[in-house]
Structure 1
Amino acid sequence: MHSGELAHLAGVTVRALRHYHQVGVLPEPERRSNGYRSYDVHDLIRVLRIKRLASLGVPLERMPELLDDAASDGGGLLDELDAELAAQIDRLTEQRELIARLRIHDAPPDVPPELAPFLAIFAAAGLSPGLARIDRDQSVLLAHLVGEEGMPSLAKLYQRISATTLVPAVAGIAKRFDQLGPESTQRDIDELVDSFVEAFGPLVDEFSDGSEPYDLTGSATLFDQYTADVLNDQQRRTLAQLEATLDK
């Protein structure tokens, strides 16, 4: 039979047959006088065995030892495959759980699931699209910088900020911050900084006492680069003044 017939009988493509030849799991048969390869039933059986092994997840490079060694029962390889599949199932189960958590809060798929509930609260508080995007971006960056070890502490901070009693203050300060622009005065900035310190100063002190399992001091330039691109001059001045005030 020619390659097309073999491919049809085995339920594979001619391209797959060529690939099997290239990687060495299917020996190339002799060619007829017309230049076409000539296959027989033994080749068909070997292709069917290759398909069966592939369906179990056996990589092509591991197949020759199973296809050519009649004494090999593949027990060790099956144990390896079973362990790999178990690990994949665990990963997929975890991914599904993360997706479910994001769906519950109608959160974008690129935000940290641990922070999704709190970002949803901030979004529902009426943040402008621009500030919501900044909030999301900085949360993604923060989650990466603190790592898995620091995530529980970061989530605790977000939980405290999104408490029912603080959400109105968050929304009000965010709205005033969003409105800062060329017409804003130094008094506007001073009053906004004072409002922030009054509302969140104790919380900032609580989470900046050195007990966190992460250190972001070396990451300040990353946030500076980000805010330089997305905030106007008055907003950046406000953040700088706020940082100086909290450091006193």
Structure 2
Amino acid sequence: MRIAELAELAGVTVRTIRYYHQVGALPEPPRRSNGYRDYNADHLVTLLRIAQLTGSGLSLAHAGALAAESSGSSDEVLDEIDRALETRIAALTEQRTRLAQARAGGHLGLSRVAAALSFSASDLPVAVLFAHLYRDQPTVEAFADALLEPESRAALASIQRRFEAVDETTPDGELEGLAAEMRSIVSELGGGALAAELPPLAPERSQLLLALAERELNDRQKEFLRRRL
């Protein structure tokens, strides 16, 4: 039979069958002298089994492999499906947990670390990049937890508001006081060890972060930031 007939009998599209061929899930049949593929009932059965297996939770790769096997007990197939479903359930449970955390923390679309570093919309680009650059550091999640503690967050939000008010009229003494307060708050996070455990970034990454942070700053704010990075 031709591919269009096979597709109609199986209840799928021709494009689906071609895709299954492309990824190796469905073996290609021999071709006739005119170049057309020549399908038979075995191909139809294999295609129907693939549909059943993928519908039961197997990946297309696994479904294609199992559908092509002439041996293998139904228990083995069911065990394979059960393992695949278990993996999918675990992944979905993890996604729901992340969604619940995002909803509770008001940071949908952000990692927990990025959310902890964000106090306003203008902070988001820097927070997202910082979280990405430190994603492999084992202490960064604990650092985020410390930042999200109400007392720390209130103190840092106050610092943020004062920094946003800095302009060319801000005296040096006020800036030094602001810097000292920032160091004090950060040094006390998580009992004083967390910030120190985050290693410094490579110079090119620090510059990337600094360039992003400076986009919305005035000259006085930039000067303050550069002295402390």
- TM-score computed with the length of structure 2 as normaliser: 0.71
Alignment of 1:194 with 2:212, yes or no, is no
2:112 is matched with 113
Instruction: Give the Å deviation of 1:141.
Output: 3.4
Report the secondary structure of 1:162's partner residue. Answer: helix
The 3 A distance-change label for structure 1 pair 208 and 238 is: farther
The CA distance in 2 between the partners of 1:209 and 1:12, in whole Å, is: 61
1:169 is matched with 158
Q: Flag the structure with larger Rg.
A: 1
1:6 is matched with 6
- Write the mapping of 1:32-43 to structure 2, written as runs, cut at 5 A: 37=37, 39-43=39-43
Q: CA RMSD in A?
A: 3.7
The 3 A distance-change label for structure 1 pair 90 and 189 is: farther
Percent of matched pairs sharing the same residue = 29
The letter for the 1-side match of 2:17 is L
Quick check: 2:20–2:26 contact (8 Å CA) kept in 1? yes
Runs of 5+ unmatched residues, structure 2: none
Instruction: Give the Å deviation of 1:156.
Output: 0.4
Residue deviations 1:213-243 (CA, integer Å, cap 9, x gap): 73332446533443245244322222344x3
Residue deviations 1:174-232 (CA, integer Å, cap 9, x gap): 3313xx2xxx15x62432332442x4453233249873373332446533443245244
Instruction: Give the Å deviation of 1:27.
Output: 5.1
The 3 A distance-change label for structure 1 pair 189 and 158 is: farther
The letter for the 1-side match of 2:129 is L
**Number of equivalenced pairs:** 220
2:54 is matched with 54
- TM-score computed with the length of structure 1 as normaliser: 0.67
The CA distance in 2 between the partners of 1:12 and 1:173, in whole Å, is: 63
1:128 is matched with none
- Write the mapping of 1:95-110 to structure 2, written as runs, cut at 5 A: 95-109=95-109
Could you tell me which of 123, 144, 148 is aligned with 1:154? 144
1:203 is matched with 185
Quick check: 2:146–2:189 contact (8 Å CA) kept in 1? no
The letter for the 2-side match of 1:138 is V
Report the secondary structure of 1:12's partner residue. Answer: coil
The CA distance in 1 between the partners of 2:29 and 2:19, in whole Å, is: 11
The CA distance in 1 between the partners of 2:189 and 2:19, in whole Å, is: 58
The letter for the 2-side match of 1:28 is P
Quick check: 1:115–1:158 contact (8 Å CA) kept in 2? no
Quick check: 1:58–1:81 contact (8 Å CA) kept in 2? no
Residue deviations 1:59-93 (CA, integer Å, cap 9, x gap): 44774565342x31164454344334322322222
Alignment of 1:217 with 2:215, yes or no, is no
The 3 A distance-change label for structure 1 pair 189 and 53 is: same
Quick check: 1:29–1:38 contact (8 Å CA) kept in 2? yes
Quick check: 2:3–2:39 contact (8 Å CA) kept in 1? yes
The letter for the 1-side match of 2:16 is A
